[in-house]
Amino acid sequence: MNRRFLARSLLFFLALSTISTPIWAADKAARPNIVLIFSDDHAWQAISAYGESRKLLQTPNIDRLAREGVRFNRCLVPNSICGPSRATLLTGKYNHLNGFYNNTNSKFDGSQMTFPKLLGKAGYQTAIFGKWHLISQPTGFDHWHILPGQGVYYNPPMIRNGQRVKHEGYTTDILTDLSVDWLKQRDKSKPFLLMLHHKAPHREWEPALRHLGHDKDRKYPEPDTLFDDYAGRGKAEREQDMTIAKTMTLRDLKLVPLSQLNAEQRKVWDAYYEPRNQAFRKANLKGKDLVRWKYNRYLHDYLGCIKAVDESVGRVLNYLDDEKLADNTLVVYSSDQGFYVGEHGWFDKRWIFEESLRTPLLMRWPSTAKAGTVNKDIVSNLDIAETFLDAAGITPPAEMQGRSLVPLLKGQTPADWRKSFYYHYYEHPAVHSVHRHYGVVTPRYKLVYFYEPDADYWELFDLQKDPQEMRSVYGQPEYAEAQKELHAELKRLRKELKVPDPDPKEADIKPRRPKQP
């Protein structure tokens, strides 16, 4: 008996010796590397792969992810604002469970479970560079090098593993340099998670010097709703403070000097802006002509910031190619939410409405995802945590509220995939004066409840007949059945997602109205 056991053991180890890569090492190698490139306020309309009719900008490197992977056309966020969206990304949970409701007085509880912590426990190297915007220090990363607060576009102070440092140059480029350098110096025996979080193209939209004049003073096509008067909708839409016409500041419009530039940078900056600013002042524009000037200045600056982000994506993809890492690396490009680029006369985000609710999401994973796929299912940044864990072979914790996108990457939408989506915005009173609201979104309809005492009303939009969401049809007889079903679905989602009704924590959510820059 013992001789037979020894003989079988010898045969087993002889068999193992003929395999060039040990079984346990092969299993480890099969886990993909993960790169998440996450921008701030990047509208899907400003990515050429999405085919927006105004053709605002060409983004060849981001488009490469769509061409070589999957473009998700219906990625929705649970709360369209920077910090809460990032908290959802990390935890896979809605804000009423992760505790980060708004940008003005929330603080992220770093002790809670996040996907970087779970990947780290499974043997991944983890690092984050760039915008954090969650007040508390990052946890769950081997290395972190972040911008304090919103960060600045030029010569940024940063925090590296708790130590304050100062950099010279353009922030988008610096973050890319730091990320690529970390990839070069990583422990190559381990899979890695790299999170490259750009400040761009967040307000106040300050392009790299090389991109000043990128559009050759182009006059951009106007959205049909640039001069929206908000008729057909309620008090919240009429009382917001986020219009190009009235809300943009002198700094937004580059009509005052930019303080953080050094002397060499200022010389180039002033050479571009000052002649154009002088011409603007001389023209003394009024009314719609003034709005059009502001719109074109805004798009020049906003899209100029995105050009540097697109170059950053290209640099990361080139590094993966050069190091022969591309085939086993899941690369994701997304943003914390959508953004307005003139639609309804607005900039910024916050609303349940389309431009704000919908964010870009592109994923490339050559070993798994079919190149050139377009997915139209309702997905969310809520799903990204579970997607990464699934890809790494880790069972997501039950507390997460999203779903893995891996089956969708394989072209296999589960039969029970979501057909509706819950949204909740909490930050009011605050900058831009968008009232608190929640609602349910389906492929055709959007039911919205503005629930504050001074703006207490329902709206219903038929996206099929009114894709620009110009007229609420709530209460109209022909929509009675749809309205009833949507109310029932909203109630079901709030129960399923464990949304308190009323939310006792909301009494403690008292956003300040910060000064505008």
Q: Is residue 156 reached through a cis peptide bond, with omega within 30 degrees of 0 on the bond before it?
A: no
- The C-alpha R_g of the chain, in whole angstroms, comes to 24
- pLDDT tens readout for residues 203-229: 999 999 999 999 999 999 999 999 999
Tokens of 334: 């997304």
Q: Is residue 514 part of a domain?
A: no
Mean pLDDT of 234-263: 97
How many percent of the chain have pLDDT more than 70? 93
**HSE of 92, CA atoms in CB hemisphere, 13 A:** 24
Where would I find the H helices in 284-426?
287-322, 354-357, 384-391, 406-409
Higher-scoring residue by pLDDT: 16, 152: 152
| Euclidean distance between CA atoms 460 and 470, whole angstroms | 11
Please say if the pLDDT value at position 343 is more than 90: yes
Q: Is residue 516 part of a domain?
A: no
Structural domain boundaries, residue 193: 31-508
Cβ contact 69:320 at 8 Å: no
Q: Is residue 517 part of a domain?
A: no
- Residue 17 has a pLDDT of 35
Of 514, 341, 342, nearest in space to 432 by CA: 514
| Euclidean distance between CA atoms 270 and 356, whole angstroms | 33
**CATH label of the domain that carries residue 239:** 3.40.720.10
Three-state secondary structure call for residue 370: coil
**Total number of domains in the chain:** 1
Bridge partners (DSSP) of residue 100 are none
SS (H, E, C) 252-301: CCCCCCCCCCCHHHHHHHHHHHHHHHHHHHHHCCCHHHHHHHHHHHHHHH
| Euclidean distance between CA atoms 198 and 176, whole angstroms | 9
- pLDDT tens readout for residues 71-103: 999 999 999 999 999 999 999 999 999 999 999
**HSE of 305, CA atoms in CB hemisphere, 13 A:** 24
Please say if the pLDDT value at position 18 is more than 70: no
Q: Is residue 312 part of a domain?
A: yes
Cβ contact 134:83 at 8 Å: yes
Mean pLDDT of the chain: 93
- Residue 516 has a pLDDT of 40
Please say if the pLDDT value at position 162 is more than 60: yes
Cβ contact 357:336 at 8 Å: no
pLDDT band at 511 (very low <50, low <70, confident <90, very high): low
Q: Is residue 9 part of a domain?
A: no
Supply φ then ψ for residue 250, to 5 degrees: -60, -35
Please say if the pLDDT value at position 408 is more than 90: yes
